[in-house]
Structure 1
Amino acid sequence: MKKSYRIKANKEFQHVFKHGKSFANRQLVLYYIKKPEQTHFRIGLSVGKKIGNAVTRNRIKRYLREAFHELEAGVEPGYDIVIIARQPTKRMNYHEMKKSLIHLLSKEKLLSKK
């Protein structure tokens, strides 16, 4: 994932939390906000320390980044998206996590049907 596709600054995360919309399932929470001036989507990932040690948290983030990489063509451009992992993600494999992410994105119409 290119650096221009990532949200890194705390200020940007807070902006999405305060002004964006949210949707959740058991595994993930999705916050998003429309940014019409952007030509592509940007993602921010958050995995709290309660979920596990650094190895577990990094694995979850790796799975989510890879899932976004595979879905890149189908994700609507012009959005800032923040994904927060919940407790059940530490026991999930890549395919389960991707399925959960697709569920969230399609429910909120952020995934086009290409």
Structure 2
Amino acid sequence: MKRKLSKTSEFKKVFSEGRRIEGKNLIIFVLKNDYDFNRLGIIVKKEIGKAVVRNKIKRRLKETSRLLNKKLLPGYDIIVMAKNNIREASYFELYYDLEGLLYKEKLFL
């Protein structure tokens, strides 16, 4: 089983049934799953910038998610969506924004 969300149906389920939490640079959607691990999906829209910019943001979000995943409760599908103002955000701003949103949702051990 892959530890990432990849199918459209998986994304649609999290969007429709999951809980939405909005931060300064990110929006996350969280839904309990039936596995003993978390699955992650990252969305960076084309309006944010060219492919180089979008890929840089995705790499930063993947790394912050990887670091935070060790501290999270298992068994959740999490979608991280970038807002338009994310281009100006530093890596640390993304890290603390994501950490704060996950803390709000009470996903930490």
TM range (shorter): over 0.9
Structure 2: which amino acid aligns with 1:55? V
TM-score (norm. length: structure 2): 0.95
Q: CA RMSD in A?
A: 1.1
Which ranges of structure 1 fall in alignment gaps of 5 or more residues? Answer: none
TM-score (norm. length: structure 1): 0.91
- Structure 1 moving runs of 4+ over 3 Å: none
1:79 is matched with 76
Alignment of 1:5-24 (within 5 A): 5-24=3-22
1:61 & 1:5 partners in 2: Cα distance? 16
Superposed CA offset, 1:37-85 (max 9, x none):
2010001000001111101111111001001111121111100000110
Aligned length: 109
1:45 is matched with 42
- The answer on 1:66 being equivalent to 2:63 is yes
Report the identity percentage: 35
1:31 is matched with 29
Which ranges of structure 2 fall in alignment gaps of 5 or more residues? Answer: none
2:48 & 2:35 partners in 1: Cα distance? 32
SS of 1:17 mapped into structure 2: helix
2:57 & 2:74 partners in 1: Cα distance? 24
Instruction: Answer yes or no: is the 8 Å Cα contact 2:25–2:89 preserved in 1.
Output: no
